[in-house]
Amino acid sequence: MKKFLFLFLVITGMSFYSFAQVKNPVKWSFESKKIDAKNYELIITASIDPGWHIYTIDHSGDIGVATSFTFNKNPLGDLKGNVKTSAKPKKSKDPSTGEMVAFYEGKVVFSQTVTLKSPVKTTYTGSVEFMACDDKMCLPPSEKNFTINLQ
């Protein structure tokens, strides 16, 4: 009887654990690309699981949170222009609000140009805020911190 009870508790505990796993449908990677001695491109890539999407950086709808980037100040360099993206967003009518929304699926690369004041090694730190959704639900907004080395 004790063995049966122990086995029951183990199986029950494992099933609760499997239901409690956190969904993480967006994987982020961060790197830099040297353009010349003082100019770099910060490259931020989102790999989005099939069936999921994130909203664009200019999303302003009633539902969903725009993907946004915060770069911490670096006294050795300056950000030039705005964050750009490689992918053309998909557009669809949101069934709950009837509004047109733009979003990214699959893989999307964001980039930000940086100009250094002198050719030195440094890092840029910051965070990206985003909201991942599928056709049934949206996860709460998430924030991912990053550090990008400029060699």
Q: Given a cut of 90, is residue 94 above it in pLDDT?
A: no
The pLDDT tens digits of the residues spanning 48-78 come to 999 999 999 999 877 789 999 999 999 999 9
* Amino acid at position 150, single letter: L
* Strand order through the sheet with 132-133: 90-93, 100-104, 53-55, 132-133
Helix (H, G, I), strand (E, B) or coil at 16: helix
All residues at 6 or more sequence positions from 55 whose CB lies less than 8 Å from its CB, including other chains: 61, 64, 65, 66, 67, 101, 102, 103, 104, 130, 131, 133
Of 85, 77, 81, 83, the residue nearest 39 (C-alpha): 77
The pLDDT tens digits of the residues spanning 109-141 come to 999 999 999 999 999 999 999 999 998 899 999
Tokens of 36: 């010349």
What mean pLDDT comes out for the span 95-118?
92
Q: Given a cut of 50, is residue 3 above it in pLDDT?
A: no
Going from the N-terminus, what domains does the chain have, and what CATH number goes with each? 25-150 (2.60.40.1250)
